[in-house]
Amino acid sequence: MLDMKFVRENPDIVKQNIKNKFQDHKLPLVDEVIALDKESRETKQRADSLRAMRNSDSKQIGVLMGQGKKDEAEELKKKVAGNSAELASLEEKETELQEKIKKIMMTIPNIIDPSVPIGKDDSENVEVKRYGEPAVPDFEIPYHTDIMEKLNGIDLDSARKVAGNGFYYLMGDIARLHSAVIAYARDFMIDRGFTYCIPPFMIRSNVVTGVMSFDEMDAMMYKIEGEDLYLIGTSEHSMIGKFIDTIIPENELPKTLTSYSPCFRKEKGAHGLEERGVYRIHQFEKQEMIVVCKPDESPMWFDKLWQNTVDLFRSMDIPVRTLECCSGDLADLKVKSVDVEAWSPRQKKYFEVGSCSNLSDAQARRLKIRYKTENGTVFAHTLNNTVVAPPRMLIAFLENNLNEDGSVNIPEVLRPYMGGKDTIKVNA
């Protein structure tokens, strides 16, 4: 959420940013919210004047009563009563105006970083760099669920009976591999100085609206019926929410946390062959990283975060690339985002396995996350990034480590988490 003062003083910048994000339908909101803000400030000024007058008149009434001037005191009381009625009306109007302003400000997108490429959707994202050599073996690679089924590692039919489409049972060594990747990612981030955390898996609505846009909320979140609780779509939601309405001592920044959680998503609009299997599902597990830091440090942390994901995948010898998200592909709260994509030998292309985002002070402003300086309190910056998200990551892992006989090699870094195994064998 932008600072109202910034919008008031820079309407042209805000409007151009909306155009850059191809959200022209939101352009009228800028003038509308500026007009509401003007009316709100005028209302507050009049209300403040009446409050000051009420305090002064109340003191004068006491003086007049003490002087025995009851008639004058009674006349002044009538004036105070009249002003009180007007003040009550103004206070009600103040509340209404602030609610209208907040609702609009929650839909006006954050100002994107100048380095972000301008583009309408993810088809215009820009490749930044490749890491590792993508390879295609001289044998055919089956669809990922076929690989898993041959290893007795997945049961989709039973899952459909129990929960419907978008769910799965992972079995045997594939289930163990899934957990091994999560455990390895946890230790990988701890070794990089991040504090490990397991957060609540449900959050209240004020946290949901603090960490994401309304469009994201509608597309992603499952609500718990009859309660003010939502299932998290990623642990970032809980982790950023951890700092709601806090003032952090400056010397305690940055806060660098890595968190494990299950994730629950509606995944509206998922379709097509590559959306099936375990690529786009309603329930999965993930290791996440978040940072709360000073504004001038967020660009540095942004680069560190996506590099962590690249390094993790490269440690398992999986080729990846980074992709700069264009303006139209950025969610409203984000100022800059880089996707990490893994190589798929079967598809002969890369696909997304993680996303790193800098949200500047957008979440902090909504959730009142501040830090104390010598000159007062300042809104912090927040960032998040996927460390790894099985089972999607398993697709890249299985395809890049598959042997012609259907067995799968286990890289050295994962073997301690797999009981020393170096291979998952067919019918093992």
pLDDT tens digits, residue range 312-325? 999 999 999 999 99
**Whether pLDDT at 195 is above 50:** yes
288-309: average pLDDT: 97
182-192: average pLDDT: 97
Confidence band of 271 (pLDDT split at 50, 70, 90): very low
pLDDT of residue 279: 76
pLDDT of residue 74: 64
Q: What is the pLDDT of residues 233-261, one digit of tens each?
A: 999 999 999 999 999 999 999 999 999 99
**Whether pLDDT at 355 is above 90:** yes
Confidence band of 47 (pLDDT split at 50, 70, 90): confident
CA–CA dist 68, 61 (Å, integer): 10
Percent of the chain at pLDDT above 90?
78
CB atoms < 10 A from the CB of 327, how many?
21
pLDDT of residue 57: 66
Q: Name all domains of the chain by residue range, CATH numbers in brackets.
A: 4-105 (1.10.287.40), 122-424 (3.30.930.10)
**Whether pLDDT at 273 is above 50:** no
**Whether pLDDT at 189 is above 70:** yes
Statement: the pTM of the whole predicted model exceeds 0.75: yes
**Whether pLDDT at 119 is above 50:** yes
* DSSP labels, 182-239: HHHHHHHHHHTTPEEE---SEE-HHHHHHHS-HHHHHHHPEEPTTSS-EE-SSHHHHH
Confidence band of 391 (pLDDT split at 50, 70, 90): confident
Nearest to 333 by CA among 166, 107, 149: 107
DSSP state of 167: -
Percent of the chain at pLDDT above 70?
92
In the beta sheet, which residues pair with residue 423? 409
Q: What integer best gives the mean pLDDT of the chain?
A: 91
CA 194 from chain centre, in angstroms, equals 18
300-305: average pLDDT: 98
pLDDT of residue 131: 98
**Whether pLDDT at 346 is above 60:** yes
CA 77 from chain centre, in angstroms, equals 54
Comparing 87 with 329, which gets the higher pLDDT? 329
